[in-house]
């Protein structure tokens, strides 16, 4: 019998498939350095773990191939080959003979191999380094007793409490029809990933894990935020109709792909894509993105035991820059810390990581990391004169002095590289309330500002962006928030800087309309929303939205502010 649950829609679309439940995994924080002196026993542990991992991987590969998913099968077959590699085993055994624990020996051996692959000039081989990391984790998990991280072997709806970036990294996206999370908000990672690969997602669904067991048939509607467990015939029909409507809507929007973002009265507003990695490039081009307003470069740093070297970064940046000739690509420097920790950065744990050394703060205390990234960006640009226009953006700026320091670092690196900074725009994200207040001074030092509403709202409302219980609090349509943003936009323009919005709010039609009324020059969002926002722009009149936003700022509450903006949006 159908059980309907109500969550929050986080990525549009409808999917029905059996549930794949991602259970929280227990992992020891640190691996033991040394074994207890019995090297023979330790070698046996190693051999058994490698054998078990290989067996598991071959079973998965076979199951996938039987399910006619040969591409996925081949990936797991390749993982099995890695695990069975005699050179790798002998490297690990040598370390065990010197006293190293099996856990550490096998991890180091894998990392040595993966470092070699990652440095390869061959794009395909370099991408295999991530597969090697996956295989490594499987063996280490067997040794520590954590058990291998399960992965789906057929098309499914992923059901979880919430998904971490590494959960999402290890899930084969081709098999994921939809995502449903008990926790999380529309700006948590599961939601962002779902939008970037264009699959439906619902978050903040209380009671989800009590209702849905592994393999239960689940339907998700990412527009209404509904999840249905075990749908009966009537519910199935209902979901099929919704899916057909969604296909029709997307077909109608597809005609806007080649159009530029412009309001009905001719105001140009660029509609760009947020890119979470090279995989997001094709969907963004496919949806008609006008460049990128936010390349989240964390993908290069996460799930690695060492910092990525400059050559690898150059290659990855070039892949992205090449995809958008004649457009601007805003690459944000590594925004690590808080909900995006960096495995190879050895820093004391912080009690409040969201308020700690993250984003540009981390780049300034670990300058070698940031300098390498800036160097890679300049080299990537130098090698590709005709590709996209490079813009460099610094995250989590709190005070103008940080931007001054970052700019100086960029100039120094440019000097060392003999690189010309002419034409490279430099900008700051507005994510911290203090930065919003200091927008005028920041804009004096910047070519552009970009409002990160995900973090700015989290900090303005003191509401953790990952916590479903407080997800209802942050609202860009609160009159005082609109008033603050109005000032930020005016401050940017007064200093000749352009201003965009790259938080998830840019993808919400009512919020986006409000931002247009405030006068922003660019909206950057997940690929899945680009056509919808282009469609919105051609329906609205910027002059009328300006008046609506002025009324919204003077409104007595957020509800009435919303009405002011909604009334200025003609129906499709
Ligand atoms: C933001 O904070 O709005 C933003 C775009 O950055 P991220 O979501 O990567 O923190
Ligand atoms: Mg942010």
Mutation choice for ligand 1 from 300, 454, 501, 524, CB with most ligand atoms inside 8 A? 454
Ligand 1 centre distance from Cα of residue 453 (Å): 7
Task: Provide the edge-to-edge strand list for the sheet that holds 217-221.
Answer: 3-6, 226-229, 217-221, 14-22, 156-160, 176-181, 201-203, 8-11
pTM for the model:
0.71
Ligand 2 centre distance from Cα of residue 336 (Å): 10
Residues marked active site are found at 189, 502
Rounded to the nearest 10 degrees, how much is the dihedral formed by the CA atoms of 404, 405, 409, 414? 10
For atom 3 of ligand 1, the residue with the nearest CA is 452
For atom 8 of ligand 1, the residue with the nearest CA is 454
Instruction: Give the residues surrounding ligand 1 with Cβ less than 6 Å away.
Output: 294, 296, 335, 431, 452-455, 502-503
Cβ within 8 Å of residue 248, ≥6 positions away: none
Helix, strand, or coil here: 107?
A: helix
Distance CA 14, CA 21 (A): 19
For atom 7 of ligand 1, the residue with the nearest CA is 454
Are 532 and 257 within 8 A, CB to CB? no
For atom 4 of ligand 1, the residue with the nearest CA is 452
Distance CA 412, CA 48 (A): 52
- Write out the two tokens for 551: 């009324």
In 3D space, the residue among 528, 536, 434, 436 whose CA is nearest the CA of residue 476 turns out to be 436
**Ligand 1 atom nearest to 505, measured from its CA:** 3
Contacts of 145-149 with C-beta under 8 Å, sequence gap 24+, read 146/25, 146/26, 146/27, 146/28, 147/25, 148/53, 148/56, 149/25
**Ligand 1 atom nearest to 294, measured from its CA:** 5
Ligand 1 centre distance from Cα of residue 196 (Å): 14
Ligand 2 centre distance from Cα of residue 502 (Å): 9
- Partnered with residue 228 across adjacent β-strands are 4, 219
Ordered per-residue pLDDT tens for the chain, 572 residues: 899 999 999 898 999 999 999 876 555 567 888 888 899 999 999 999 999 888 888 877 776 666 555 555 666 777 788 888 888 899 999 999 999 999 999 999 988 887 777 666 555 565 566 667 778 888 888 888 876 567 888 999 999 998 865 566 668 888 999 999 998 887 777 787 788 778 899 999 999 999 999 999 999 999 999 999 999 999 999 999 999 998 888 888 999 999 999 999 999 999 999 998 888 899 999 999 999 999 999 888 876 778 899 999 999 999 999 999 989 999 999 998 766 667 677 778 888 889 999 999 999 999 999 999 999 999 999 988 778 899 999 999 999 999 999 999 999 999 999 999 999 999 999 999 999 999 999 999 999 999 999 999 999 999 998 788 898 899 999 999 999 999 999 999 999 999 999 999 999 999 999 999 999 999 999 998 999 999 999 999 999 999 999 999 999 999 999 999 999 999 87
Cα distances from 310 to residues 344, 357, 363, in angstroms, run 16, 23, 15
Are 499 and 521 within 8 A, CB to CB? yes
- Write out the two tokens for 39: 């090297």
In 3D space, the residue among 250, 235, 372 whose CA is nearest the CA of residue 316 turns out to be 372
Query: Which domains, from first to last, does the chain contain?
Result: 3-24+151-253 (3.50.30.10), 39-144 (1.10.274.10), 263-528 (3.20.20.60)
Rounded to the nearest 10 degrees, how much is the dihedral formed by the CA atoms of 190, 194, 195, 197? 140
Distance CA 292, CA 309 (A): 24
């Amino acid at each position: 019998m159908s059980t309907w649950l109500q969550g929050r829609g986080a990525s549009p679309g409808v999917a029905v498939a059996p549930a794949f439940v991602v259970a929280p995994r227990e992992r020891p924080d640190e691996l033991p350095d040394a074994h207890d002196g019995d090297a023979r026993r330790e070698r046996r542990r190693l051999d058994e773990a490698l054998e078990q991992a290989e067996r598991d991987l071959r079973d998965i590969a076979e199951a996938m191939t039987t399910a006619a998913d040969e591409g996925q099968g081949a990936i797991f077959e390749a993982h099995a080959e890695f695990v069975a590699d005699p050179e790798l085993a002998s490297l690990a055994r040598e370390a065990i003979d010197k006293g190293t624990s099996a856990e550490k020996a096998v991890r180091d051996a894998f990392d040595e191999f993966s470092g070699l692959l990652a440095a390869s000039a061959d794009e395909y081989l370099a991408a295999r380094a991530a597969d090697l990391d996956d295989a490594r984790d499987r063996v280490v998990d067997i040794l520590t007793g954590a058990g291998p991280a399960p992965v789906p072997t057929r098309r499914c709806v992923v059901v979880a409490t919430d998904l971490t970036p590494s959960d999402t990294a290890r899930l084969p996206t081709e098999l994921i029809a939809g995502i449903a999370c008990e926790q999380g908000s529309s700006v948590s990672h599961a939601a962002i990933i779902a939008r970037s690969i264009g699959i439906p997602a619902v978050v903040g669904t209380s009671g989800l894990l009590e209702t849905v067991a592994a393999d239960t048939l689940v339907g998700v509607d990412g527009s209404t935020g509904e999840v249905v467990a075990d749908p009966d015939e009537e519910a199935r029909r209902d979901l099929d109709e919704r899916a057909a409507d969604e296909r029709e809507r997307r077909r109608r929007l597809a005609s806007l792909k080649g159009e530029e973002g412009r309001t009905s009265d001719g105001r140009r507003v660029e509609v760009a894509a947020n890119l979470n990695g090279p995989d997001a490039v094709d969907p963004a081009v496919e949806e008609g993105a006008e460049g990128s307003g936010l390349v989240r470069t964390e993908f290069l740093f996460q799930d690695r035991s060492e910092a990525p070297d400059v050559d690898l970064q150059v290659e990855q940046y070039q892949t992205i820059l090449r995809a958008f000739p004649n457009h601007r690509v805003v690459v944000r420097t590594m925004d690590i810390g808080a909900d995006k920790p960096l495995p190879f950065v050895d820093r004391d744990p912080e009690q409040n990581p969201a308020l700690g050394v993250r984003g540009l703060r981390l780049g300034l205390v670990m300058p070698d990391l940031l300098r390498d990234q800036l160097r890679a960006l300049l080299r990537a640009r130098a090698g590709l004169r005709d590709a996209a226009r490079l813009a460099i953006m610094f995250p989590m700026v709190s005070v103008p002095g940080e931007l001054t320091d970052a700019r100086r670092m960029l100039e120094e690196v440019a000097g060392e590289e003999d690189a010309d900074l002419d034409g490279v725009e430099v900008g700051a994200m507005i994510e911290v309330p203090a930065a919003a207040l200091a927008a005028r001074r920041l804009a004096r030092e910047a070519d552009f500002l970009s409002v990160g509403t995900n973090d700015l709202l989290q900090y303005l409302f003191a509401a953790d962006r990952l916590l479903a219980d407080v997800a209802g609090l942050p609202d860009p349509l609160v009159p005082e928030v609109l008033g603050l943003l109005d000032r930020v936009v005016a401050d940017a323009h007064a200093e000749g800087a352009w201003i965009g919005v790259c938080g998830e709010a840019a993808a919400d039609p009512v919020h986006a309309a409000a931002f247009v009324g405030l006068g922003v020059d660019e909206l950057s969002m997940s690929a899945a929303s680009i056509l919808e926002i282009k469609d919105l722009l051609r329906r609205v009149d910027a002059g009328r939205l300006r008046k609506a936003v002025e009324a919204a700022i003077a409104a007595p509450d957020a509800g009435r502010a919303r009405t002011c903006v909604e009334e200025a949006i003609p129906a499709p």
